[in-house]
Every structure is written in structure tokens, then in C-alpha cells.
């Protein structure tokens, strides 16, 4: 087959953080497919046909990309952040596995991007300097009891936890429930960071204690980082946000 699919990570928002490999894939594309806000981040140009779509149609979007590629088109499927982190790469391969066997012969590549937790960590200091994990609080694709079982396990393992998709209008209670579970396992003074729209003009960063975090506002553009027992704050000057970091070393017995 002469067509191709490149699954491209656009990074957290700042255009300077798109990798050269990702930009080259965008430059080669004849067709651009993705969620409306992500497609809008790619400049229009001659020879590029744009196919924006709404949220929650990831597998349909992936099938569309594969059908276009089977016709000989060079398709870029775009995601914010990294396409392999709660994003379109898994959806494309799910469509490949379940779809037309001929799709398996297509040239399919994944171009990584800077995901939200790494962009946020870089702004804050080094909160993921030790062991960490990422969890999505969305229960659209998995039951809530699976979400909470996994969250409890990593909290008890004393990992730093990055929470994606923390809250939405359809599920406004889940972040509070997750932070309540964290309070049952971790000390109330544990540092928690709320990083919203990192690297974009409306970026906001807030660091507080776990005890304070349940009252903090958040939305789907927010990433929440819950520190481990060793995560520390380094105070700075008046009015300056402290550095947040987690040492790489862990004392024996922890």
C-alpha cells in the first residue's frame, strides 16, 4: 500500500516544543485528522485537507485515517501531548487489530510529543525525579472501581501520581473522591500540584497541601500531581512559587 499514517504528538501547546520529527510528519501529510482543538493548532496550508471531529470518537477517527491511507493518502493523526499517553496511538492500533486485515500492511508510525505530566514537571522543578506513574480518572473506558483500585495501589506503593482527565462537567465529583482516597493513605501535608494549560497563554500553576487540594478548582485542561512521602518543597523569595522535587534516593525501609 502506498499510503501512510503518522500518529503525531503536538506537545503541551507551545509550538516550539513540537519535535522536528513530528513537524516533518505534519509537513508530509495530505490529510490531517484529530479532535477539533488539536487540528486547529496545525496551520492551514495548500495541499492539506483537514478532518476535525468531536471528542469521544477516537476509534471512528482512527478508522477514517486508515481508510484514507488505504486509498494512498498520507495521513497525520494528531493528539495533544504524546499520542501514546491516553491518546490516539492506542485508538489507531485498536482499529488496526479489529479492522480490515489489509490495514496491517500500511506504513504506520508514531511521532512522540512532550506529554502534560512532563511539561508540568519541568515547570514545577522535578516532582517526578523518583518513581512515578500516570493514571486517568476518566471512567469512560474503564469502570470507576478499576480507577480507584489502581489509584489505591500506587498510593500505597508511595509513587508520585500524575492524574490525567481529573474532572469534567459530566463527572464533577471524581477528583474529590480520588483526593479523599489519597488523604486516607498519605499525610495531609503531602505536596500536590495543579498544572493547567501548561506552556499556553492561560497557564496556571498552583502548589498546595493534600489537605487543601480537595477545594481547588480544576478542569479537563488540568493535570494534578500528588507527591510521594519524599516529595519536597524548596522555599524561594517572597511571592515566588517554591521548587517542587522528589529525590531519586529512597531511604531503606520505605
Q: Which residue segments constitute the domains of the chain, with CATH numbers given?
A: 4-114 (3.40.1010.10), 117-245 (3.30.950.10)
Using one digit for the tens of pLDDT, what is the confidence trace for 83-103? 999 999 999 999 999 999 999
Alpha-carbon separation of residue 238 from 3, 194, 209, 241, 242 (angstroms): 57, 20, 19, 9, 10
Q: Which residues have CB under 8 Å from 242's CB, separation 6+?
A: 207, 233, 234, 235, 236
Q: What is the mean pLDDT of the chain?
A: 95
Confidence of residue 1 (pLDDT cuts 50, 70, 90): low
Using one digit for the tens of pLDDT, what is the confidence trace for 15-63? 999 999 999 999 999 999 999 999 999 999 999 999 999 877 899 999 9
Q: Which conformational region is residue 196 in: left (phi greater than 0), alpha (psi within -120 to 50 degrees), or beta?
A: beta
Whether pTM > 0.75 for this model: the answer is yes
The pLDDT value given to residue 2: 83
Whether the pLDDT of residue 254 is over 70: the answer is no
The pLDDT value given to residue 97: 97
The pLDDT value given to residue 253: 64
The pLDDT value given to residue 55: 79
Amino acid at each position: 500500500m502506498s499510503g501512510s499514517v503518522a500518529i503525531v504528538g503536538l506537545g503541551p501547546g507551545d509550538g516550539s516544543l513540537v519535535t522536528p520529527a513530528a513537524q516533518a510528519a505534519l509537513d508530509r501529510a495530505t490529510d490531517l485528522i484529530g479532535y477539533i482543538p488539536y487540528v486547529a493548532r496545525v496551520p492551514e496550508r495548500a495541499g492539506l485537507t483537514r478532518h476535525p471531529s468531536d471528542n469521544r470518537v477516537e476509534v471512528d477517527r482512527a478508522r477514517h485515517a486508515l481508510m484514507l491511507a488505504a486509498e494512498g493518502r498520507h495521513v497525520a493523526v494528531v493528539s495533544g501531548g504524546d499520542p501514546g499517553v491516553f491518546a490516539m496511538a492506542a485508538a489507531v492500533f485498536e482499529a488496526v487489530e479489529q479492522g480490515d486485515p489489509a490495514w496491517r500492511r500500511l506504513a504506520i508510525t508514531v511521532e512522540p510529543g512532550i506529554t502534560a505530566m512532563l511539561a508540568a514537571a519541568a515547570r514545577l522543578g522535578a516532582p517526578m525525579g523518583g518513581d512515578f506513574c500516570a493514571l486517568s480518572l476518566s471512567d469512560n473506558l474503564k469502570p470507576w472501581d478499576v480507577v480507584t483500585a489502581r489509584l489505591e495501589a500506587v498510593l500505597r506503593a508511595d509513587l508520585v501520581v500524575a492524574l490525567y482527565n481529573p474532572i469534567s462537567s459530566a463527572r464533577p465529583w471524581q477528583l474529590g473522591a480520588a483526593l479523599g482516597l489519597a488523604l486516607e493513605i498519605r499525610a495531609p501535608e503531602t505536596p500536590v500540584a495543579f498544572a493547567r494549560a501548561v506552556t499556553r497563554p492561560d497557564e496556571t500553576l498552583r502548589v498546595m497541601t493534600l489537605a487543601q487540594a480537595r477545594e481547588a478548582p480544576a478542569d479537563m485542561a488540568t493535570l494534578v500531581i500528588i507527591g510521594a512521602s519524599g516529595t519536597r518543597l524548596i522555599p524561594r523569595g517572597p511571592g515566588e512559587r517554591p521548587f517542587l522535587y522528589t529525590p531519586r534516593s529512597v531511604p531503606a525501609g520505605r
